[in-house]
Amino acid sequence: MSSSSSVTEKLPSAEEVAKDVAVVAKKSFSSLRDLVAGGVGGVFAVVVGHPFDLVKVRLQTAEKGVYTGAMDVVRKTIAREGPVRGLYAGVSAPLVGVTPMFAVSFWGYGVGKQLVESVSEVKDGQYSVAQVSAAGFFSAIPMTLITAPFERVKIILQIQGQKQLAPGEKPRYNGGVDVVRQLYKEGGIRSVYKGSLMTLARDGPGSAAYFATYEIIKRRLTPKDADGKPGKLSLTAVCAAGGAAGVAMWIPVFPVDTVKSRLQSAEGNLSIMGTVRELYGKGGVRAFFPGFGPAMARAVPANAATFLGVELAHAAMNQVLG
């Protein structure tokens, strides 16, 4: 009898079970909101930032002397392909991929914050810079599974667009699905995921800097209420913090992105060190920074748009769902 009563004492009460279920449900619902808001932010980012990204990639992958600079890429692209078709070449891949890509990034960031909260103390709901950075780094791990293949497809289509076709010659690829089909046929899943390690090497530290910068600047620009807690969110603060976050993300990882772009655009099996040596041999340290100007120019509006989309989506969900 005493044995059964001791077992009963160890079992959680109905009230404790209800509390645990409520906590799990709240976290799951919060993660779902992060997923949706991230997807909305991603669409905003592509619409605003794709032309800048196209210029960056073409500068990173073109042979020396093909372009004299960013504006030369824009002029030649528009002259050859038209303003919309040219500047949005390869946009189908990021548009299809960017919703899950950004959705998973912001979902991963939310999960990262939950993990941080489970192993360290969060005071008054305000995460420290180190805690935000850790959560940001974690977000890059699941995101790489989506980012790597979609960036490979996007880069291949962007480069294809700059090739001058001979009369009657057809492009090698007929869109994103055809790129994936041909890559898989040539080298299997490894070919589709080529450059994944460099994608993670870029996005891990980049995401840590990205989310940390956003949170820090947003807090400083958002007015506080009488209790010292953040007051009503300012969309101007969101855009400023988002733009700054984009710049902070790109500066430390841009050389890694150049190596990644080279790897993902190359035919054959180039190694990471082989690509690094080839780049350095052609132009020294400067060879790792082609397209840096367009990337910085893109970082501000594209990431301001990203976080604006995320915050507006969260605000809309809060209003509708409570």
Which neighbouring-strand residues pair with 224? 230
> What is the pTM for the complete model shown?
0.75
- The residue among 168 and 207 whose pLDDT is bigger is 207
The residue type at 4: S
- The residue among 166 and 46 whose pLDDT is bigger is 46
Q: Distance between CA 81 and CA 104 in Å, rounded?
A: 33
Question: Is residue 244 within 8 Å of 217, Cβ to Cβ?
Answer: yes
Cα maximum dimension of the chain: 92
Q: Distance between CA 140 and CA 295 in Å, rounded?
A: 19
Residue for token pair 């991230």: 38
Look over the chain and give the mean of its residue pLDDT values, rounded to a whole number: 85
Question: Is residue 150 within 8 Å of 101, Cβ to Cβ?
Answer: yes
Per-residue model confidence as pLDDT tens digits over 250-308: 999 999 999 999 999 887 778 899 999 999 998 899 999 988 888 888 889 999 999 99
| pLDDT band of 4, cuts 50, 70, 90 | low
Question: Is residue 41 within 8 Å of 309, Cβ to Cβ?
Answer: yes
Domains and CATH numbers, the chain: 17-162+171-321 (1.50.40.10)
> CA nearest 69: which of 58, 81, 79, 80?
58
Question: Is residue 62 within 8 Å of 294, Cβ to Cβ?
Answer: no
> CA nearest 53: which of 83, 73, 76?
73
Q: Which one of 15-19, 22-26, 59-63 scores highest in mean pLDDT?
A: 59-63
